[in-house]
Each structure stands twice: as C-alpha cells, then as structure tokens.
Amino acid sequence: MGLIYLDSCLLIYLVEDRERRGSAVARAVASAEGDTFCISPLVKCECLAAPARRGDPVLRRAYQEIFAVFEGLEMPEPVFLEAASIRARFGLKTPDALHLACAQHHRCISLWTNDGRLAQAAHGLAVDILSSR
C-alpha cells in the first residue's frame, strides 16, 4: 500500500479519451486495491490548459471533478531543485522532470505514465501503464 502518482496524460485520457485509452487507465486504477492515487498542481495545470484554450467550461468542470477523486501533493522548492538535476541528467523536459521529482519527494511507490522516456529516466519508479498491460 502506498502512493501512486498519476501523470497528466493519464487524467487527460480519463476525461477526453474514455473509449480507448481512458478505459485502460480506469481498469488499471481499479486493479490497484489499497493504494492511494495522487496528483500535483502541475497535473492540474497541464490538464486545464486545453479547456482554457478552447474556452470550454464543461471540460474544465470535468477536470475539476476528477481532480477531487485524487489526493493532492504539494510541490515545495526541493521538488524544483531536484527537477533541475533530473532534467540535466536525463534530458527530460521541465514538466516531466517535475513530475518525477514530485513523486520522489513524496516517496510514491510508483509514477504511472504513458511516457516511455519518463519511465526510462525514473529507474523503475515510473511505469508506462498502457504499454505494460
């Protein structure tokens, strides 16, 4: 039992791609009994960009409703400092390095993603759940 960090792409699939990838994510979440799923403010930021760009209040509300399902994690300064090291070491983009640093900071047992590069840089912490199922 532990914390599982969800990458933004997985929430996007749950909300905007329910039929294909979202259903696979929902099955994976349902199969992880006893674990707590969590998200960061960065996940919220990335998810809310599309509804803001489109001016879509219904989509924004759908995201706000799904955010409430998951535990929120803080992103204090040490997360950003570690993300800089991760970014430099593995060549990840800043958001990906921040996701990984946040998961590490909060001692998550796993970081679920659909990003193979992130999974490779995480040395076993990040799991590309759509490729592994």
Q: Tokens in use for 124?
A: 């076993």
Q: Tokens in use for 20?
A: 């294909």
Residue 93 domain boundaries? 3-128
Cα angle for residues 79, 82, 84 (degrees, 5° grid): 110
133 pLDDT above the threshold of 80: no
Q: For the chain, what is the domain count?
A: 1
Please indicate, yes or no, if residue 66 is contained in any of the structural domains: yes
- CATH number at 104 reads 3.40.50.1010
pTM of the model: 0.94
Q: Are 118 and 99 in contact (CB under 8 A)?
A: yes
Please indicate, yes or no, if residue 72 is contained in any of the structural domains: yes
Please indicate, yes or no, if residue 87 is contained in any of the structural domains: yes
Q: Tokens in use for 113?
A: 């993603």
Task: Read off the pLDDT of residues 35-71 as tens digits, 9 standing for 90 and up.
Answer: 999 999 999 999 999 999 999 999 999 999 999 999 9
Please indicate, yes or no, if residue 133 is contained in any of the structural domains: no
In terms of residues, how long is the chain? 133
132 pLDDT above the threshold of 80: no
In 3D space, the residue among 32, 12, 23, 20 whose CA is nearest the CA of residue 127 turns out to be: 32
pLDDT tier, 16 (very low <50, low <70, confident <90, very high otherwise)? very high
Q: What percent of the chain has pLDDT over 90?
A: 82
Task: Read off the pLDDT of residues 70-102 as tens digits, 9 standing for 90 and up.
Answer: 999 999 999 999 999 999 999 999 999 999 999
